[in-house]
Chain A
């Protein structure tokens, strides 16, 4: 069974540019999560999809971040325009049950904004 896959693994962009991160969850997992880790800090929750609907987007930092999950399958996280403080590792995770099911994480997308 394929795990959670994320693309790209590393992206280097300049301030003001746009980046789109993609996540393919484990097949059949309705729940998809985005998290972010800034160097040395905790892993912070961004948002949670149940199928194609945003269940909780309380962690999205501002309106420069846009997440979508078309058809309840893969998800994209777009940052436009990127700022220096957006640098970090963006993790995607999926689970089959939001309440007690463990999260399965991808390897992360490292974003560097110069």
Chain B
């Protein structure tokens, strides 16, 4: 069975500093990985995805994520955090080689960027 772990419930970072939101996954086949963001009172918005190819994926709002197969990780990063990045971030995975399996989400990490 596929699963996602987001080990941190909350991440605090000062504005202008780099940020990292951690995600590790478990699948039996090849992973298809996503990051989504949820701003207050809004739905989830797609940030970026990894299917294959370059391990560093660039997405919306200056975010990027690095796929690391040996560590089964897909951490979300941004070089310089903005206060407006404060939101709830969800990592998700689908096992591409297990037929029609649903996208499985982690429990989310709340990012607070402090001015």
Contact = CB atoms under 8 A, between A and B. Distances in A.
Interface string A51-95: 000011011000000000000000000000000000000010100
Contacts of A93: 44
Contact of B105 (A35, A106, A107): A35
Contacts, number: 54
A103 B46 contact: yes
B44 A91 contact: yes
Interface of A: 3-4, 33, 35, 40-45, 48, 55-56, 58-59, 91, 93, 98-100, 102-108
Determine the main DSSP class of A at the interface with B.
loop
A101 B92 CA distance: 13
B25 to A, nearest CB: 13
Contacts of A35: 105
Contact of A105 (B44, B100, B106): B44
B87 interface: no
A108 B44 CA distance: 9
